[in-house]
Amino acid sequence: MRGSHARRHVDPASGLLRPQAVGGVLAIVFLPLLYGFLGFLSGVLGAALYNLLAPIVGGIELEFSGRPPEDFGAQTRP
């Protein structure tokens, strides 16, 4: 019974891995790469869309409240 798990994924006639085993290994390698690539691509497209629309719409303005920068030890310009 030892090693039977590994033998289930090997075709006895050819000695090659069955497509299910190969597909699982490819998914483990390929899907994270695809996820990273699609994330990068959506970031590039989002940035391009923002850069095209910001001059028309006016962009995004952030306003922070709280302590001024000198409270954090930042050097202020004269």
Residue pLDDT, tens place only, 11-28:
666 666 666 666 777 888
Look at residue 1 in the predicted model and tell me its pLDDT.
45
- Domain edges within the chain: 4-57
Q: Which of 31, 7, 2, 3 is nearest to 21 (CA)?
A: 7
Residue 31 banded pLDDT, cuts 50, 70, 90: very high
| pTM of the model as a whole | 0.53
pLDDT of 35 above 70: yes
What is the C-alpha R_g of the chain?
27
Q: Which residue has the tokens 């899907």?
A: 31
Q: Is the pLDDT of residue 77 over 70?
A: no
